[in-house]
């Protein structure tokens, strides 16, 4: 069948919408008619080849829509069901079977390989293959092919344009707080970077009762939004020494911290601003080979932990419905982050996301 998709041709190339062919569905796959898709930092760094994802490809991994067709082996959903799409996982490796699919042994191949596990692709253009199955969905398109493992069935009253970013950025930030750090009420947390991931973490910290929530960024508008969403303090890192400022707000340092920017110097600040026995969560995705320098005694003597966090340690079928219920109750106002664009404006939306004028750009098909 013919679909419309935004193709990324080569390193740094724009997202260009064009007609391509969607091939034959397999028994364990389903087709989702995409209603909306969020643009994530990961889409942009893959476009720029920070990660070695094969191109040309259809990217996009925060999709939501309506099930159109299901393969013969699919039992989780039927045509007409509303779904959000998230990351893919194998379901059989030790981390998957113990409820930690974000650390699937095949995570990179299934999410960044831009093909099925056997190397095939479902998309083509003029008889030539276009890489697909990015995060098991490639949702920068009017239709996406997914699997049961990376879809979450939704109630029909959940707005698809609101829930789309839950599949990656929102669950990553919120899950870092709710699933990994698990701060007690009355504790302090410093969040470095107040984009979608950082702001989701701010909202989650507010939900669990952190009484000192510090947002750190260089964008005044985002810092202001962080305050509106629950941050008790903000630090403009262009105007102040962020490490020292955090320690002054929450002496002798924050109980928890999160690094969402992927900048090595910011990770160093996020570690060094914490109190003894604190945990710093690393979320930001840097280019392959990026290294950071840490003072080993800051880790050893003070019993600090530095913890990598992927997709908020989420089991999407469990975690997304919980976040949606918080949203329903007005306690997780993700709507405040979203700026909507028509699908043919996707490259403009990507630039706005990159420059920071849009917190969470969502394209609507």
Q: Kind and range of the H or E element at 17?
A: strand 15-22
The number of beta carbons lying within 10 Å of the beta carbon of residue 289 is 6
159/164 Cα distance (integer angstroms): 9
Domains of the chain and any CATH numbers: 2-167+333-364 (3.90.180.10), 172-310 (3.40.50.720)
Tell me what pLDDT residue 17 has.
97
pLDDT tens across 71-88, in order?
A: 999 999 999 999 999 999
Looking at residue 181, the DSSP 8-state letter turns out to be I
- 3-state SS assignment for residue 244: helix
CA 278 from centroid of its chain's CA atoms: 24
Tell me what pLDDT residue 268 has.
97
CA 137 from centroid of its chain's CA atoms: 14
Tell me what pLDDT residue 55 has.
96
Residue indicated by tokens 């087709």: 31
274/191 Cα distance (integer angstroms): 11
Tell me what pLDDT residue 68 has.
98
Tell me what pLDDT residue 282 has.
98
- 3-state SS assignment for residue 73: coil
Is residue 14 within 8 Å of 43, Cβ to Cβ? no
- 3-state SS assignment for residue 308: strand
Give me the tens of pLDDT residue by residue for the chain, a chain 365 residues long.
Answer: 999 999 999 999 999 999 999 999 999 999 999 999 999 999 999 999 999 999 999 999 999 999 999 999 999 999 999 999 999 999 999 999 999 999 999 999 999 999 999 999 999 999 999 999 999 999 999 999 999 999 999 999 999 999 999 999 999 999 999 999 999 999 999 999 999 999 999 999 999 999 999 999 999 999 999 999 999 999 999 999 999 999 999 999 999 999 999 999 999 999 999 999 999 999 999 999 999 999 999 999 999 999 999 999 999 999 999 999 999 999 999 999 999 999 999 999 999 999 999 999 999 99
Distances (CA, A) of 349 to 114, 318, 354, 361: 22, 30, 9, 6
CB environment 55-80: b (16+ within 10 A), e (fewer): bbbbbbbbbbbbbbebbeebebbeee
Q: How big is the chain, counted in residues?
A: 365
User: Among 211, 74, 64, which Cα is nearest to 144's?
Assistant: 64
pLDDT tens across 24-77, in order?
A: 999 999 999 999 999 999 999 999 999 999 999 999 999 999 999 999 999 999
Q: Is the pTM of this model over 0.85?
A: yes
The number of beta carbons lying within 10 Å of the beta carbon of residue 2 is 9
213/336 Cα distance (integer angstroms): 18
CA 341 from centroid of its chain's CA atoms: 19
């Amino acid at each position: 069948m013919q679909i419309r998709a935004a193709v990324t041709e080569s390193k740094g190339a724009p997202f260009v919408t064009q007609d391509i062919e969607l091939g034959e569905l397999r028994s364990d796959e389903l087709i989702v008619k995409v209603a909306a898709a969020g643009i994530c930092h990961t889409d942009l760094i893959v476009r720029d080849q920070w990660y070695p994802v094969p191109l040309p490809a259809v990217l996009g991994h925060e999709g939501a829509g309506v099930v159109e067709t299901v393969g013969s082996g699919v039992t989780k959903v039927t045509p007409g069901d509303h779904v959000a799409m998230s990351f893919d996982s194998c379901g059989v490796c030790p981390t998957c079977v113990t409820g930690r699919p974000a650390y699937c042994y095949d995570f990179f191949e299934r999410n960044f390989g831009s093909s099925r596990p056997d190397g095939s692709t479902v998309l083509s253009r003029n008889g030539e293959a276009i890489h697909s199955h990015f995060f098991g969905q490639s949702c920068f398109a009017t239709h996406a092919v997914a699997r049961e493992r990376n879809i979450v069935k939704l109630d029909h009253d959940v707005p698809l344009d609101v829930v789309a970013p839950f599949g990656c950025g929102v669950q990553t930030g919120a899950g870092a707080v709710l699933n990994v750090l698990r701060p007690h009420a009355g504790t302090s947390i410093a969040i470095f970077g107040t984009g979608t991931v950082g702001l989701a973490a701010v909202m989650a910290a507010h939900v669990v009762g952190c009484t000192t929530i510090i947002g750190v960024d260089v964008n005044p508008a985002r810092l202001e939004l962080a305050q509106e969403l629950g941050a008790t303090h903000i630090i403009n890192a262009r105007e102040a020494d962020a490490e020292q400022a955090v320690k002054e707000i929450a002496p002798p340092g924050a109980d928890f911290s999160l690094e969402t920017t992927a900048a090595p110097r910011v990770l160093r600040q996020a570690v060094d601003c914490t109190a003894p026995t604190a945990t710093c969560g690393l979320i930001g995705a840097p280019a392959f080979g990026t290294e950071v320098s840490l003072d080993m005694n800051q880790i050893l003597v003070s019993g600090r932990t530095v913890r990598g966090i992927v997709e908020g340690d989420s089991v999407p079928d469990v975690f997304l419905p919980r976040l949606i219920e918080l949203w329903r109750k007005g306690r997780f106002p993700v709507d405040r982050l979203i700026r909507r664009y028509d699908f043919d404006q996707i490259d403009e939306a990507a630039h706005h996301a990159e420059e920071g004028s849009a917190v969470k750009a969502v394209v609507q098909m």
